[in-house]
């Protein structure tokens, strides 16, 4: 009995609040951006670790803002799927969740100051905008997550922008090649958000959201999700064929079974609890894709 209580009120509650399955969306872009930078010189590991930690903190905080504001707007209850559940199921005070999110933002700011001191204060402006977007994603009077632009915004900030920042702090510049290699990450982070919105399409409709999944309809939304996957893989193949990246980048093809299974699951099932494996596959696709692409670039660098 004690074990059951601990599993719902102990450290696991706080771990679930971070929505750990989403944290790879912060890790993969930073890793990839750093590997791309390796082609231009040695890696500054303290900066890499600072950037990685700050990105993880920002992702956790964004998830907590999501938890807090969805509860405040009455979108979450104890039966909601895919949430941390600390407020509606475990009795944690909403204010506590909000304060923890703000604390993580504060820690990110401290890490950001260190990064700026070592590189450029221009990043302070970029980082501030990224943090503001993270808050406005579910906070504020007009949450981005409740509009058709959630995928675009999250993909740009948590996908492309993270890669380019990770690249910039190592090289002091942004190259066209870095931008090209960041496009699939933008699409795959957008895919995570799209998968989330497909799962929640019924509840979100009742809650008054106007997500892309709601506006296009479930079937079309799954097709759009599939297109995010397809373009990501085709993009890398084209970059290989045009000489922008070595053939080792084709290691990303090893991750194809994950998106295939995700789309199959979304086509086969509609109940939120039944499509959770597809949610996981979508997140894993982003992680594997970024990791394999980074590894491919790393191997090409040393061969």
Residue 75 contacts residue 203 (beta carbons within 8 Å): yes
- DSSP class of residue 157 equals I
Residue 1 is predicted with a pLDDT of: 35
Its CATH class, for the domain covering 2-302, is mainly alpha
Residue 5 is predicted with a pLDDT of: 33
- Parse the chain into domains and list their residue ranges: 2-302
* Structure tokens belonging to residue 256: 């194809």
- Distance between CA 284 and CA 259 in Å, rounded? 9
- Distance between CA 274 and CA 30 in Å, rounded? 31
Start-to-end CA distance of the chain, whole Å, equals 56
- Distance between CA 184 and CA 290 in Å, rounded? 9
Residue 34 contacts residue 293 (beta carbons within 8 Å): no
* Structure tokens belonging to residue 286: 């982003």
pTM of the predicted protein model: 0.85
Residue whose C-alpha is closest to residue 188's, from 145, 143, 233: 233
- Distance between CA 27 and CA 126 in Å, rounded? 19
What is the b/e burial string over 256-278, where b = at least 16 CB atoms within 10 angstroms of the residue's CB?
Answer: eebbebbbebbeeeeebeebbeb
Residue 303 is predicted with a pLDDT of: 84
- Distance between CA 260 and CA 282 in Å, rounded? 9
What is the SS3 string spanning 31-60?
HHHHHHHHHHCCCCHHHHHHHHHHHHHHHH
Overall residue count recorded for the chain in this entry: 303
CA 187 vs CA 41, 151, 191: distances in Å: 28, 8, 6
Residue 65 is predicted with a pLDDT of: 84
* Structure tokens belonging to residue 238: 């084209």
Residue 80 is predicted with a pLDDT of: 56
CA 48 vs CA 38, 60, 112, 221: distances in Å: 12, 18, 12, 36
Q: What is the mean pLDDT of each run of 10 residues along the chain (303 residues)?
A: 43 72 81 94 94 90 82 64 60 84 92 95 91 83 90 92 95 96 96 93 88 96 98 98 96 98 96 92 94 96 88
């Amino acid at each position: 009995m004690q074990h059951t209580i601990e599993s719902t009120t102990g450290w696991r509650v706080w771990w679930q609040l971070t929505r750990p399955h989403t944290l790879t969306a912060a890790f993969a872009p930073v890793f990839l951006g750093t590997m791309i930078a390796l082609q231009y010189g040695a890696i500054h590991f303290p900066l890499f670790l600072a950037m990685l930690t700050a990105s993880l903190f920002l992702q956790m905080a964004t998830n907590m803002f999501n938890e807090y504001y969805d509860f405040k707007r009455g979108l979450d209850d104890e039966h909601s799927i895919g949430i941390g559940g600390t407020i509606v199921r475990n009795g944690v005070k909403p204010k506590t969740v909000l304060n923890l999110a703000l604390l993580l933002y504060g820690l990110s700011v401290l890490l950001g100051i260190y990064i700026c001191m070592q590189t450029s204060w221009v990043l302070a402006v970029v980082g501030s905008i990224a943090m503001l977007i993270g808050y406005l994603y579910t906070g504020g009077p007009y949450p981005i997550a409740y509009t058709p632009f959630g995928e675009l915004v999250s993909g740009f900030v948590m996908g492309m922008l993270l890669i380019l920042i990770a690249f910039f702090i190592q090289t002091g510049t942004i190259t066209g090649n870095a931008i090209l290699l960041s496009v699939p990450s933008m699409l795959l982070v957008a895919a995570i958000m799209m998968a989330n919105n497909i799962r929640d399409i019924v509840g979100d409709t009742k809650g008054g959201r106007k997500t892309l999944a709601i506006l296009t309809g479930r079937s079309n939304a799954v097709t759009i999700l599939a297109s995010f996957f397809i373009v990501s893989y085709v993009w890398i193949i084209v970059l290989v064929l045009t000489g922008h990246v070595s053939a080792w980048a084709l290691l990303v093809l090893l991750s194809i079974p994950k998106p295939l299974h995700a789309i199959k699951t979304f086509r086969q099932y509609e109940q939120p609890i039944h499509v959770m494996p597809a949610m996981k596959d979508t997140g894993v696709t982003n992680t594997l894709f970024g990791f394999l692409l980074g590894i491919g670039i790393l191997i090409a660098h040393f061969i």
